[in-house]
Amino acid sequence: MKKRFSGTKVIWLLALMLAAAAVCSFCLGRFSVSPRQLFGILLSRIIYIEPFWTGTMEVVVFNIRLPRILLACLVGCSLSAAGAAYQGVFQNPMASPDLLGASSGAAFGAALAILLGASSAIITLSAFLSGIVSVALVLLIGQRAPGKKVVNLILAGIMVSSIASAATSFVKLVADPSNQLPAITYWLMGSLSGAKRGELLFAAIPMAIGLIPLFAFRWRINILSLGDDEARSMGVNVNMLRTAAALCATLLTAASVSVSGMIGWVGLVMPHICRRLAGNDYRFLMPASMLGGAFFMLLIDNISRNLLSTEIPIGILTAFIGAPFFIYLILRRGGRI
């Protein structure tokens, strides 16, 4: 793949775009805040400024928009980093964060919790845990099966995912169609509208645990993407690295899904866009994917909040925007992704 710019430049560019998108997200919304007012509000936390804005604005900025912006960035960053990591360690350009069943497992956990009438905190926790359990199951099957590890893991992932999806369908079937079923359906379509400080904290910890190692051993993912035998002969502990990367990516996916529902495509599309911009070298690709994912998610969330008078579920938007873009990439590059 020809890269157009140097990796470092791409990273700076994405960071700038992310900052600009964050400013826009603060200002846009049913309750609009001008950029001047926004900087006043933010700065007033550090130094004293005579308010030239209303108290409501301050509440909107700090209690509604700030958590939502942070959550959008974290979710986008996590899904995109998880996708990039899976693609490398499974030597498969089509790998995405749901490869090992983390999202379908989490979806089942959430649906079940809604069926049992749990509170929103329990729904989040249940989604997170069942996402982790699904992947643990996949890893266990993959370890026990003889033959090619990568193929076994991917096959086990497909199977566990389809079992989880079937279980989710069953939960929907028995759910109360007047209130539970819409709640499950809406949850599955993905949304950041529930962003509160509590959820933010809940998601931030596993995300940090997942993101930091992936960032630290990003160069080694290059070597893993050449294949197991080659990587081992170069002195890389393939099984340990792959398991560690898969666990980190799983933490990221399960944490994202548990706070925002099913948001597809980001984890597949963003790493590929970043591959085209920054090249395949994970030293640049990983940070670029993290920033790009955060930017993309902020963009999508702004559309979701502002396009229509009601919020459009994010999962629908990412599919509507992500899939055509991916088709465009395939047409341009003839499948040589």
Partner 1 sequence: MSLTVENLKFAYGRQEVLKGISFTASEGELLSVLGCNGAGKSTLFKCMLGLLEGYSGRILADGQDIKTLSLRKLARKTAYIPQLHYPAFSYSVFDMVLMGTAHRVSPMASPGDKEKIRTHNALEQMGIAGLAERSYNHLSGGEQQLVLMARALAQEARILILDEPTASLDFGNRIRVLSKIRELVGNGYTVIQSTHDPENAFMYSDRVLAVKSGRVIAEGAPSEILTEELMRELYGVEVDVRSLDDDKIRICIPKNRRK
- The only residue of 233, 324, 327, 328 in contact with partner 1, by rule CB under 8 A: 233
Cα 331 from Cα 337, distance rounded (Å): 10
Nearer to partner 1, 20 or 94 (CB): 94
The interface region with partner 1, picked from 16-24, 64-72, 155-163, 219-227 by CB under 8 A, is 219-227
Question: Which residue reads 């980001």 in tokens?
Answer: 266
Nearer to partner 1, 2 or 30 (CB): 2
Candidates 269, 297, 79, 264; CA nearest to 161 is 264
| Residue from 27, 44, 91, 165 in contact with partner 1 (CB under 8 A) | 91
Distance CA 304, CA 316 (A): 9
Residues 6+ apart with CB under 8 A from 69: 22, 25, 26, 298
Among 128, 275, 291, 304, binds partner 1 (CB under 8 A): 275
Interface of this chain with partner 1, residues 129 to 188, rule: CB under 8 A: none
Binding status of residue 237 toward partner 1 by CB under 8 A: yes
Please identify, using beta-carbon distances, which residue of 221 and 252 lies nearer to partner 1.
221
3-state SS class at 34: coil
Per-residue CA distances from 57 to 26, 38, 218, 243 (Å): 10, 9, 41, 46
Residue 170 has which token pair?
């069953």
Among the listed ranges 63-71, 199-207, 245-253, 280-288, the one in contact with partner 1 (CB under 8 A) is: 280-288
For the bound state, the minimum distance from the C-beta of residue 283 to partner 1, rounded and expressed in Å, comes to 5
Q: Which is nearer to partner 1, 6 or 63 (CB)?
A: 6
- Would you count residue 222 as binding partner 1 (CB under 8 A)? yes
Which stretch in 197-205, 224-232, 300-308, 327-335 sits in contact with partner 1 by CB under 8 A? 224-232
Q: Are 314 and 75 in contact (CB under 8 A)?
A: no
Does 239 participate in binding partner 1 (rule CB under 8 A)?
Answer: no
Give me 161's structure tokens: 């995912």
- Taking CB under 8 A as the rule, does residue 243 contact partner 1? no
Residue 272 lies near partner 1 (rule: CB under 8 A) = no
Nearest to residue 298, comparing CAs of 12, 15, 35, 85? 15
Instruction: Name which of 49 and 337 has its Cβ closer to partner 1.
Output: 337
- Counted residue by residue, the chain has a size of 337
Check binding of 220 to partner 1 (CB under 8 A): yes
- Cα separation, 313 vs 330, in Å, equals 26
Q: Does 276 bind partner 1 (CB under 8 A)?
A: no
State both tokens at 232: 């081992």
> Cα angle vertex 73, ends 69, 77, to 5°?
175
Q: Phi, psi (5° rounding) for residue 116?
A: -85, 5
Cβ 256 vs Cβ 203: under 8 Å: yes
Is residue 194 close enough to count as binding partner 1 by CB under 8 A?
no
Q: Where are the alpha helices (DSSP H) in 116-148?
A: 120-144
Taking the complex as a whole, the smallest distance from the CB of residue 91 to partner 1 amounts, in Å, to 4
Q: Residue 116 or 212: which CB sits closer to partner 1?
A: 212
Structure tokens at 160: 């566990």
* Sole binder of partner 1 in the list 122, 189, 241, 319 (CB under 8 A): 241
State the Cα–Cα distance between residues 35 and 100, nearest whole angstrom: 43
Specify the residue, 107 or 269, whose C-beta has the smaller distance to partner 1. Answer: 269
Q: Which of 41, 181, 188, 218 binds partner 1 (CB under 8 A)?
A: 218
225 lies in the binding site for partner 1 (CB under 8 A): yes
Contacting residues toward partner 1, per CB under 8 A: 1-2, 87-88, 91-93, 213, 216-220, 222-223, 225-230, 232-237, 241, 275, 279-281, 283
